[in-house]
Structure 1
Amino acid sequence: MSGYSPDSLLGDVLDDPGARPLIERAMPALVNSPLILQLRHSPVGQLIGFGARQLTDEEISRLWRDLAALSAQSTAPRVEPSPIVPSPDYEGPEVARASRHAEYPASAERWAVFEISIPGPDHGNPFVDVDLHATFRLRAANGGGRRGSTYRVGGFYDGGGRYVIRLAAPDVGEWEFVTDSTARSLDGLRGSFSASAPARAGNRGPVRVADTFHFRYADGTRYRPVGTTAYAWTNQPADLQERTLETLAQTAFTKLRMCVFPKSYLFNTNEPPVYPFERAEDGTFDTTRPVPAFFRHLERRIDQLAELGIEADLILFHAYDRWGFSDLGKAGDDRYVRYLVRRLHAFRNVWWSLANEYDLVRSKTTEDWERFAEIIGEEDPTGHLTSIHNCFGFYDYTRPWITHCSIQRTDVYRTSENTTAWREEFGKPIVIDECAYEGDIDQGWGNISGEELVRRYWEGAVRGGYVGHGETYLNDREELWWSKGGELVGDSPARIAFLEKLMAQAPDGVFDPLPSDWDVAWGGAPGHELAYFGFGRPRYRDIIRKPGTRYAVDVIDTWNMSVERLPGTFEGTFRVPLPGRQYMAIRLTAARSDRADDGGETAGNREEGR
């Protein structure tokens, strides 16, 4: 077989004992990179220049000559399996149509999980041999629902001869349903139930985009994504997962980025307790047979997050993989996405993130991501928020299926400062899910200080965006929050909670960018204006406003979490004294005749952060 070329996959080259030394000599940073598992599927030509050392033109030419001179090892080309079409002959004519009995409750809360369970046939492979749907119809509306509204919802096989169909009823009223299936015994089952107004505390429905750049729950309540990241927490030992939930209960976080699949990366070398697919003795996975216990466990954790008021921002694919889950083949990928969405769409606190760092998942093309988005659109009647996350270049966030921009930092220092420009460019909410993590590991993305993370939070907030948290402090157990969860030990969570409290005091509960000074960003709302000084250490700030409006003035120490009200009110041009230290902010609140401000403080009072 002819030698290697720039189009040869890195994995094939490294597996050849004659070719590997050439790569090791030319690109040692590549071979020793923690990304090596993810980069095995990349063409070698795309990886030239990886790391700090840049190859000269002569070195590159010599590498290609030496690789081409080798006799490349022959590897069998991958055979792409065809999609599996459910069989209309799964049950013969001797099986009576609608002969199974559907089990379901007589009532359910609006936006809660209504579940139909059907004991059914289990011969062959029901995961792929049987297709099942139900058409739900709002027979009698009670409130804002429209009578006659219909939703066709896909079901799934849950193992043990059990089939499930779920719905989060979008309207209060009387609902009826009828099933259709390729299995005769499951076809034509009928039933009805009542959807009532939510009674459980915290059931505000799914989160939607509102006011172009912000969010509300379906019931209209304002939602602010105060995000953190624990990628692989549900794939850890049970006691560690419980500690993660206990920690989250003590924080202000309202969104958690998390992977469906386990993760293989720095400080992530353990095997998950359960795999998502059945595993053969040779270590391969049968992607036609999901393991229901894996997905039931995920559902339980999502439910527990909902009880804490936390949205589960679910990552469907990622590149940090040694099991092959990042590339199941087109048919396998589609089957997995469809199965996952059918299982989880009725959980009100789910968001879909097609990928973490989509551009590192080398096995996927734009066509693949667009196809996954189409499947989600087909299978999710709830219409959950959907996005995709970048490493290097942005995805096209103008795509209609993308509800909000999920962004990783674009510069070592500056990212949050771009929030206003991104709002204008994409016309969607800006969620900076990764701005770097508070921690002390040897990776530049994971060793910024708590002060710097909080600064980035504030820089994004005053510009009308939402910045995410993460923590990567090294410990002997290698239980870093950013991936495994556990306990938080950093300084930023309390300061983030303080910022969240201040945002809640804005007239509509959110900050938008306001006309700013050349050196200081202003945000908030007219009559409720904040200036953030970040690195600056001014001893005072001269404020210039049109005469006619008097302001109460607060000096905010964003790190020490205090709000100090200056005595009296101010109008026109006035000077605000400051302590000459970093991370300070000023808040101007248009004074009202009936009270000092919307925060309920009186002149001279000092509010300490909790």
Structure 2
Amino acid sequence: MATFTAQTPLFDVMRDPAGHEILASHVPDLAANPLLHTLYHYQLGLILGTEESLRDDPQKRAEILAKIEALDPVPAGQDRSVRDIERPSGYEPDSVETGSAAAEYPAEARKWQRFELTLQGSSHGNPFTDVDLHATFSNGDRTLRVPGFYDGNGTYRIRLLVPAEGGWSFTTESNARSLDQITGSFTAAGTEPASRGVVRVADKFHFAYDDGTPYLPIGTTSYVWTHQGNELEEQTLASLKSGPFNKMRMCVFPKSYLFNENEPGIYPYEGSLQEGFDYTRPNPAYYHHLERRISQLEELGVEADLILFHAYDRWGFSTMNAAADDLYVKYVTARLASHRNIWWSLANEYDLMFEKTTEDWERFAAIVQENDPNQHLLSIHNCREFYDHSRPWVTHCSIQRRDIYKTAEMTTEWREQYGKPVVIDECAYEGNIDQGWGNITGEEMTRRFWEGAIRGGYVGHGETYVHPEDILWWAKGGELRGTSPDRIGFLRRILEESPGGHLEPLPGHWDAPSAGIKDRYELIYFGFNQPTYRRFVKPQDQTFQIDVIDTWNMTVETLPGTFSGRFRIELPGRQFVAVRLRAV
């Protein structure tokens, strides 16, 4: 590998462990800068030459550059060595009676709702790391192994999203004698009318609930909306209630980045910003709050696409050692897997987390799968380089665009490459900030949604409009201010009206994408083209009604009469028009 020079992009230096250490040690303000990720593509020499703390110290700049130039670069990632936390074989003495912990649980439950077993046990030492707890649930020939977790104040919980009705029994296992070999049973009734189960992959490229109802992910992003205080968080929920979105990308950890410089009101671990955090002691109050918000999303019919890791961090959560990472993934999965509306996303922009390797990501995926008995959807999201979405644990492609202009147009290629649903979670954001990823128009956001949908994929929304208090929807939620959400809602209605509840691409037009069912239903999208008419050739014995859809003005005009064989229709000569053919 070539050595570093003043012309090397900052990104390449920062993802080298030794290069990162030199910059963090000698230019800590740079390493902790919330704008750091906007500087990555600039040359190292330029960054050092414009860094405020080095501006009047050319000798120090030269020394730092010399140290970096002397390095022998190594591949991204490093050995974080501590791979496991050893649990004591016996957490409690032999004098403690097996199964003596007080247990509380309901005698009745419902399919696709949470059953919770609450146990009162010991709290000495560190129960988060010292106690191993799980239960085996049985329903006829079906058995599920479900992890438990410590919830503070001597309380342990085991939660199951009940997957089937009928009689269930359970037995606990633990290295804490009082929590071991506790047995019980409950009866699960049928589902409530509004309950449809977990979202799964369906028909290879699409999604449906457990009961078979099609699910169209119309997603948005508000990374740290749950860290903004009650007033703003409730406003976000109100915006979702009246908006078109049924999926929310959101982080577990707080975020330190552009427009994200406020401290969260509560932290995920015991400790403080001044004294540091104990990564072996999760803060139950933090997760109680997160759980409440996830439940509120479920009440609104919104899936919580939960991001476990990200690089935008000033608290050390992104650079914990491997043992702390594993403890965190196990804890989060055990706590949250009983929510019906959870999707797991291992990372936002995994390739910016330089300390983590492919081995780490594969291990995290295995931990999630092992500890989630209901096997919710599981993905990982990129910045520059795609993860290998062909990996068997990846249920769907979670994609950030790699080209400045092409986004949804690539849906066709990605479907063919990976053979999985394509969810373009980050196609850029409607807004007006200085970053190219955050200043596309509402028209362009809407166009990308339509382009992706017609090609058989799913595009995600976000907003980054400048706000005097830095309340940008993409980060903090609040109010939707853009022009695209209403148009995205209009697209959602069009998609829900399609046969089968989703669109499958159709061949036949070289200049415009189309989707539907051959000779029965077809939706053609002209995007930024503006035809004044269009010719068609259809079977002579098949008759169609035709709708002209203005995707921006949100109108549907049904043309008079019916059409078959060779025919021509008149079009308005405007951009963002679609045509729908419906067999009579």
Q: Same fold (TM over 0.5)?
A: yes
Within-5 A mapping of 1:411-490? 411-490=403-482
**Partner Cα distance (1:483, 1:70) in 2:** 37
Aligned residue number for residue 83 of structure 1: 84
**Partner Cα distance (1:475, 1:544) in 2:** 51
Aligned residue number for residue 564 of structure 1: 557
Aligned residue number for residue 36 of structure 2: 36
Instruction: Quote how far apart the aligned CAs of 1:87 are.
Output: 1.4
Aligned residue number for residue 115 of structure 1: 116
Q: Report the AA paired with residue 21 of structure 2.
A: D
Instruction: Quote how far apart the aligned CAs of 1:93 are.
Output: 0.8
1:249 and 2:273 correspond: no
CA contact 2:19–2:68 (8 Å) conserved in 1: no
Deviations 1:198-254 (A, max 9, x none): 12x532111000000111101111111000000000111111100000100001211
**Cα–Cα, structure 1 residues 483 and 15, in superposed 2: closer, same or farther, change >3 Å?**
closer
1:525 and 2:524 correspond: no
Q: Report the AA paired with residue 119 of structure 1.
A: Q
Instruction: Quote how far apart the aligned CAs of 1:266 are.
Output: 0.4
Q: 1:285 aligns with which of 258, 264, 277?
A: 277
Instruction: Quote how far apart the aligned CAs of 1:523 are.
Output: 1.1
Instruction: Quote how far apart the aligned CAs of 1:49 are.
Output: 9.3
Deviations 1:513-541 (A, max 9, x none): 10142211111222110111111111111
Instruction: Quote how far apart the aligned CAs of 1:12 are.
Output: 3.5
Deviations 1:81-126 (A, max 9, x none): 4522221221111111111121001111111111000011111111
Deviations 1:56-105 (A, max 9, x none): xxxxxx97995149999xxxx99854522221221111111111121001
**Cα–Cα, structure 1 residues 10 and 182, in superposed 2: closer, same or farther, change >3 Å?**
same
Q: Report the AA paired with residue 378 of structure 1.
A: E
CA contact 2:350–2:381 (8 Å) conserved in 1: yes
Instruction: Quote how far apart the aligned CAs of 1:410 are.
Output: 2.0
Aligned residue number for residue 13 of structure 1: 22
After superposition, the CA RMSD in angstroms is 2.7
Deviations 1:309-335 (A, max 9, x none): 000000000011111111211000000
Instruction: Quote how far apart the aligned CAs of 1:14 are.
Output: 3.3
What secondary structure is seen at the aligned counterpart in 2 of 1:351? strand
Aligned residue number for residue 513 of structure 1: 505
Aligned residue number for residue 67 of structure 1: 66
1:378 and 2:370 correspond: yes
Q: Report the AA paired with residue 36 of structure 1.
A: L
Moved more, 509-518 or 219-228: 509-518
Instruction: Quote how far apart the aligned CAs of 1:16 are.
Output: 5.7
Q: Report the AA paired with residue 66 of structure 2.
A: L
CA contact 2:253–2:308 (8 Å) conserved in 1: yes
What secondary structure is seen at the aligned counterpart in 1 of 2:360? helix
Deviations 1:249-301 (A, max 9, x none): 00121100000000011000011111000115843110110000001111111
Instruction: Quote how far apart the aligned CAs of 1:425 are.
Output: 1.2
**Partner Cα distance (1:538, 1:258) in 2:** 40
CA contact 2:268–2:283 (8 Å) conserved in 1: yes
**Cα–Cα, structure 1 residues 513 and 94, in superposed 2: closer, same or farther, change >3 Å?**
same
**Partner Cα distance (1:337, 1:207) in 2:** 21
**Partner Cα distance (1:214, 1:82) in 2:** 37
What secondary structure is seen at the aligned counterpart in 2 of 1:451? helix
Aligned residue number for residue 137 of structure 1: 138
Q: Report the AA paired with residue 464 of structure 1.
A: G
What secondary structure is seen at the aligned counterpart in 2 of 1:234? helix
1:162 and 2:155 correspond: yes
Deviations 1:14-48 (A, max 9, x none): 3565xx69xx9xxxxx9898552799xx9x9x976
Unaligned runs of at least 5 residues, structure 1: 25-29, 54-61, 139-146, 592-610
**Partner Cα distance (1:131, 1:288) in 2:** 14
What secondary structure is seen at the aligned counterpart in 1 of 2:239? helix
Aligned residue number for residue 581 of structure 1: 574
Q: 1:540 aligns with which of 508, 511, 533?
A: 533
**Partner Cα distance (2:91, 2:32) in 1:** 51
**Cα–Cα, structure 1 residues 64 and 515, in superposed 2: closer, same or farther, change >3 Å?**
farther
Unaligned runs of at least 5 residues, structure 2: 6-12, 50-60, 72-77
TM-score, normalised relative to structure 1: 0.86
**Partner Cα distance (2:233, 2:540) in 1:** 56
Instruction: Quote how far apart the aligned CAs of 1:584 are.
Output: 0.4
Moved more, 85-94 or 210-219: 85-94
Q: Report the AA paired with residue 261 of structure 2.
A: T
Deviations 1:388-424 (A, max 9, x none): 0011111111100000000111212111011112111
Moved more, 521-530 or 351-360: 521-530
Within-5 A mapping of 1:137-286? 137-138=138-139, 147-199=140-192, 201-280=193-272, 282-286=274-278
Q: Report the AA paired with residue 433 of structure 2.
A: I
Aligned residue number for residue 101 of structure 2: 100
TM-score, normalised relative to structure 2: 0.90
**Cα–Cα, structure 1 residues 165 and 33, in superposed 2: closer, same or farther, change >3 Å?**
closer
Instruction: Select the structure with the greater relative contact order (CA < 8 A; seq sep ≥ 6).
Output: 2
**Cα–Cα, structure 1 residues 176 and 31, in superposed 2: closer, same or farther, change >3 Å?**
closer
Instruction: Quote how far apart the aligned CAs of 1:11 are.
Output: 4.3
**Cα–Cα, structure 1 residues 96 and 50, in superposed 2: closer, same or farther, change >3 Å?**
farther
